[in-house]
Amino acid sequence: MRSSTTENNNSVTASPQSEIIPRLYMKLLPMQIVLVIIGGSNSIIDNAFAGNLIGADAMAVTGFFSPVVFFLNAVNALIFGGAQVLCGRYLGKKMVERTRSFFTLDMIMMMIISVALLVASEFFSLNVAAALGAEGTIAGELAAYIRGFALGLPFFCMGTQFAAFLQLEHQEKRSYTAVAVMFAANAFFNWLFVAVFDMGLFGLGLSTSVGNIIFFVIQGTYFLSSRAVIRFSRKSIVLSDIKDILFYGLPMAASQLCICLRGFFLNYIIQNYVGPDGLAAYSAIFSFGCIYWCFPAGVSSAVMVLGSVFAGEEDRTGLKILMKTYLTKGLGLVSAATLVGILLCYPFTNVFFHDPSAAVYAMTLAGFAIYPLYAPLSTIIVGFSNYFHCLSRERIVRILSVTDGIVGVCIFTYLLVPRIGMMGVWVGQVLGSIFNVLIIAGYIYLYNKRPPVNLDSLMCFDRGFGVSDESRIDITVHSMDDVMELSNRVWTFCKKHGLSGRRMYFSSLCTEELAGNIVTHGFADGKKHSIDIRVSYVNDEIMICFKDDGIPFNPEEAARLFESENAHSQNEATAFRNTGLQIVSRISRSMTYQNTFGLNILTIRV
């Protein structure tokens, strides 16, 4: 180890250039998109079978059903939205038992609510159909679809929760498998129940239920295994956590409820000013609209997932890198998907309707050409709303949940539809999104008392949030060449804050030993990796946090193994590997480790 105080920054880079967070963001993004796409893909499958095997009236039925999907999203958001934020915060604080409390309460509450909804849907399906605005024959067909769909309701709600928690456990492959099997099952049973057994709209809903049951079983079995860190635990339950879950979930649920009310409003406007063709076109666009929405929602959900962890750590640098990644790579992905969606407006329309001379065909084509334009705008709205939620800025989150959920779109739709017909629905969506982007810009302007001109001004950090720039250094390491320069920077940082020579030496030694161990053993798989190191001076203590995306390895356990009675039975290679860890374990005041999203996070106090 070097003891020179000369600082050399030729190779070691500052953390704002970090590669870990962008890689982790892009790694989490596919599953976040999949979580949103589940309901939309099932709608596309159901609508395709409805339009081709049953008829246009069946498309109108599924159009009336759209507010129910938003209502279920609101229920999920109320419970899981709050649990997700709190799990992230307590993972950031390395409090695993509290995370298990939120998981357990989340599962119990969701099961109770979803079973209650199942019972209500089965016994009062006609009442629900009437409440959705359906009349006559359509009301009866909608009631049949609701009864079939409701049978799988608890499994759908629980399955979506499992998928999100499996990502924390680094078990995305299981969820991907569950989603693929669910879609295949839905398509197969749609054909079986509708085309073969002629079960009509009840069979259409029942096939979705069967797919949801399969989705639940494939994922749920993992949480019964001993490998699960986040698992059901009655001993970990803290009943007061229910209040916190509901508090943090309410803004997200309110947003979905507003979207649900917007669905009622749009159904009413379309039915009265356009007619059945408008409802069928809206149903088709809504089906693919869920696919469009999955990209903005997925990109924004990744902000929530990672942002809650960084907010729990009060990691200003991590949040800045996260938002930069979201605004560049995330928003770029959504913009590309938007362009593809517009270019495919004709084939998308032909999925549902085949007569270009029909009014419903023209309405649907216009929708597929215009509706996708809202997606990049929505990405900005929901992404910043999720970010503000992580920072507990609940006032602006509540405002956006109402203005984005219902006010903006409904105002413009109400003004435009009587004048330009169905085109007003598509244009109203885009204008409503622009309205909400301006609200966000206004909030940032009022918070900073100046226009948002750079990334720092967009962050809106409180003065007391996190460790100040003067009290921390952020370093990124890629190789052993970088490791050799670490101790110089840490030594200089400690000297700047007046620490004794002994503590400067220990801090430099710990940093170099652990970084070297991570590079040597964590980067051994041949893939591209790096380490983000944050050294902070807080309350007369040096806190050193290592984050790397290499091979999972718990240095606490290795150090204990080396010191155990069985240490002599270790082979020479294992003993050599643990020597540095034993030194760090003895000279540090504490050492904590966790693996979250496949990211190794090690924190020591010196």
pLDDT score recorded for residue 327: 93
pLDDT score recorded for residue 298: 82
- pLDDT tens for 527-569 read 888 888 888 888 888 888 888 888 776 555 555 544 444 444 4
CB 31 within 8 A of CB 513: no
Task: Classify residue 463 by its DSSP letter.
Answer: T
pLDDT category, 10, cuts 50, 70, 90? very low
Distance CA 330, CA 347 (A): 26
Q: For residue 389, give both structure tokens.
A: 């939620």
Buried b (16+ CB within 10 A) or exposed e, 364-386: bbbbbbbbbbbbbbbbbbbbbbb
Whose tokens are 């779109």? That residue is: 409
**Superfamily (CATH H level) for 468-605:** Histidine kinase-like ATPase, C-terminal domain (3.30.565.10)
pTM score, whole prediction? 0.71
For 404-439, give the DSSP string: IIIIHHHHHHHHHHHHHTTHHHHHHHHHHHHHHHHH
Which of 144-148, 344-348, 361-365, 590-594 bottoms out in mean pLDDT, i.e. has the lowest? 590-594
Domain boundaries, the chain: 16-458, 468-605
Task: Give the H/E segment covering residue 535.
Answer: strand 531-538
- pLDDT tens for 455-483 read 888 888 887 787 777 888 888 888 888 88
Could you give the C-alpha distances from 315 to 93, 325, 492, 496, in angstroms and in order? 11, 16, 22, 22
Task: Classify residue 195 by its DSSP letter.
Answer: I
For 335-402, give the DSSP string: HHHHHHHHHTHHHHHHTT---TTSHHHHHHHHHHHHGGGHHHHHHHHHHHHHHHHHTT-HHHHHHHHH
pLDDT score recorded for residue 38: 67
- pLDDT tens for 543-554 read 888 888 887 765
Residues 6+ apart with CB under 8 A from 120: 128
Q: What phi and psi values does residue 123 have, to the nearest 5 degrees?
A: -90, -20
Residues 6+ apart with CB under 8 A from 181: 214, 215, 218
Q: What phi and psi values does residue 151 have, to the nearest 5 degrees?
A: -60, -25
pLDDT category, 51, cuts 50, 70, 90? low
Task: Indicate whether 284 pLDDT > 60.
Answer: yes
Name which of 157, 147, 172, 195 is nearest 49 in CA terms: 195
pLDDT score recorded for residue 261: 81
pLDDT category, 442, cuts 50, 70, 90? very high
